[in-house]
Structure 1
């Protein structure tokens, strides 16, 4: 019953099989192999964008940090939510690769940036050489609270950013889960809504280690070949990244994986929400569930072998709070999470609730 993260599970069978299948023989190195070269037309088809630039890398940290480095100069600001992964969980990699640019966190319910708050912040910013100028907006999809920005929200935020001279980056570590949840196309969620660069995640959704920087604007793509190499993220045996991504896209495997993970999260949320004293901090927007549990239930679940993380209450909805004797936690389902695992967790929770009521 491990719901700690979608990073803790292995890779999906089609992706592992693709790695083995493409292992034999000699192929050109550093991304010059046919499989890597074939990724560009594949992604252009998926995203309905004929000029899309495609840069595979091995980690989400590299994808985010290098993307932001192409958008923000050393003297600039990148705006993001105050809980964003780029802000709190990447050990300063964006600042390192931008050579000193700064991240500015903004508050918002559900770890979402509110368009009105973004507009007000930008309007109030002093225009002076002593003030670092904002150059990019980074949106997490899903957010750190498991919420999906709607297409209208992305479009509004992008429009505000562009009117103030900012480029728009999307951290799509769980992009597939958001697409599956909203039922939209990848194009609708990105460039058609104003996104300039997407960090397209695969590692959390079935890949072994594969992410892609997808650039929808040619002027932002021109330095990334050099930035990726200089940063040590151009793999010599790039075919193994390409093999993963090729299998990930084949037959919409990426969306099938995400839909399954989302269904398991919905099953988990429904079961937990029926228990006395349990409520969801935010609606389920993908494959993450954030219940507020009675402390006794939290202890019983952990003692019963369930694994998950405590979570922060900083972006709870207005009027919501974690009271004394309660715990806010995060549960994540993955492409490989089985209904039996979810049901075992829910059975454990029901037994603990009955004992507490007796």
Structure 2
């Protein structure tokens, strides 16, 4: 019985993506991004975002974030972000490394979301003397590390803070598709029209083998990324294999269908699990992750049944919420490949435990 809800990274690639890689493998093609797959993907992104954009395909989200921040912040500058954001908490200092010593400054926020007024206040309170590292960028994750989604108006409010303070505005879109289908808006509305300057466009979590892209809306930020990507060792000789993944991912709105399915499976999981006694949501399940506070007994019973998922930090809980003695906070993640049967199997195991306390 498959009860693995540890991450959306555990799944393989979708069939259309795998088929596209095999097709790209037939015969020779120009190297280093001069291939037709890369050219078509660049055109596709421009159409999708309703404007000309600079596109830099890469293989990992870490390097997409690191190159984005490095292009936005000087070595003596700093980037504001949530204190539990992936860029500050889960990338082994890669953004600082690629930015040659720039600093990330973590800010608080419920559900790992930043609020415009609080970001403005935090920015304005920072020392601006030459002895300190001046803030030069803001980075947000869409969706957040707690599975929440910034509305278009919330992004626009943060964008206005950035414009008024000359900050570059970066979006970590590791789960960009899941957030987009939740909002029901266009990619343009969720990014540059709301003030985003540079985007880490994620695809690996939603059906690709290893494919992400830095999408740049501000031409001034794009100028150095080709050099930074090469220097970082992420300019692939056989770049067509990354581009082929992205092309198949976007073709026929495959990426959106995958995200809708993953979100729907999380909703199904949430309906069943939160109906059990003693189980409540730490934050609303807005994308493909459920963060549940549950009795320790239920957690033990699920793990004894073979369920896999991660314990989670409670630091971004709302002030009125706590994880009480005898409770645990956990994260369960669904994906494009999660079946209803898999969700129902976990729910059956939970019901068999009777919401054990």
TM tier relative to shorter chain: over 0.9
**CA distance in structure 2 between the aligned counterparts of 1:115 and 1:257, rounded to whole angstroms:** 31
Superposed, 1:300-339 pairs within 5 Å as 300-339=301-340
State the match for 1:247 in structure 2: 248
Shift of 1:158: 1.1
What is the RMSD of the two structures over their aligned residues, measured on CA atoms?
0.8
The C-alpha deviation readout for 1:67-90, integer Å capped at 9, x for no partner, is 111000000000000000000100
Unaligned runs of 5+ in 1: none
The C-alpha deviation readout for 1:135-177, integer Å capped at 9, x for no partner, is 1100001101000011111000111012111000000000000
Greater shift, 207-216 or 159-168, is seen at 159-168
**CA distance in structure 1 between the aligned counterparts of 2:157 and 2:286, rounded to whole angstroms:** 19
**CA distance in structure 1 between the aligned counterparts of 2:351 and 2:116, rounded to whole angstroms:** 40
State the match for 1:222 in structure 2: 223
Q: Does 1:293 align with 2:294?
A: yes
The C-alpha deviation readout for 1:227-249, integer Å capped at 9, x for no partner, is 11111000000010011000000
State the match for 1:89 in structure 2: 90
> In the alignment, which of 7, 10, 23 is matched to residue 9 of structure 2?
7
Superposed, 1:9-48 pairs within 5 Å as 9-48=11-50
Shift of 1:318: 2.0
State the match for 1:233 in structure 2: 234
Structure 1 stretches of 4+ moved >2 Å = none
**CA distance in structure 2 between the aligned counterparts of 1:232 and 1:2, rounded to whole angstroms:** 33
Give TM-score scaled by structure 2 length.
0.98
**CA distance in structure 2 between the aligned counterparts of 1:348 and 1:38, rounded to whole angstroms:** 47
> Which secondary structure does the structure 2 equivalent of 1:154 belong to?
helix
State the match for 1:140 in structure 2: 141
**CA distance in structure 1 between the aligned counterparts of 2:56 and 2:149, rounded to whole angstroms:** 25
Greater shift, 122-131 or 309-318, is seen at 122-131
> Which secondary structure does the structure 2 equivalent of 1:117 belong to?
helix
Shift of 1:122: 1.3
Shift of 1:320: 0.4
How many aligned residue pairs are there? 355
**CA distance in structure 1 between the aligned counterparts of 2:311 and 2:234, rounded to whole angstroms:** 32
> Which secondary structure does the structure 2 equivalent of 1:90 belong to?
coil
State the match for 1:209 in structure 2: 210
**CA distance in structure 2 between the aligned counterparts of 1:82 and 1:124, rounded to whole angstroms:** 17
> Which secondary structure does the structure 1 equivalent of 2:287 belong to?
coil
> Which secondary structure does the structure 2 equivalent of 1:245 belong to?
helix
Unaligned runs of 5+ in 2: none
**CA distance in structure 2 between the aligned counterparts of 1:191 and 1:78, rounded to whole angstroms:** 19
State the match for 1:182 in structure 2: 183
The C-alpha deviation readout for 1:16-66, integer Å capped at 9, x for no partner, is 0000011011111000111111211110001111x2000000000010000
**CA distance in structure 1 between the aligned counterparts of 2:239 and 2:348, rounded to whole angstroms:** 45
State the match for 1:346 in structure 2: 347
State the match for 1:124 in structure 2: 125
> Which secondary structure does the structure 1 equivalent of 2:354 belong to?
helix
Shift of 1:123: 1.6
**CA distance in structure 2 between the aligned counterparts of 1:13 and 1:98, rounded to whole angstroms:** 37
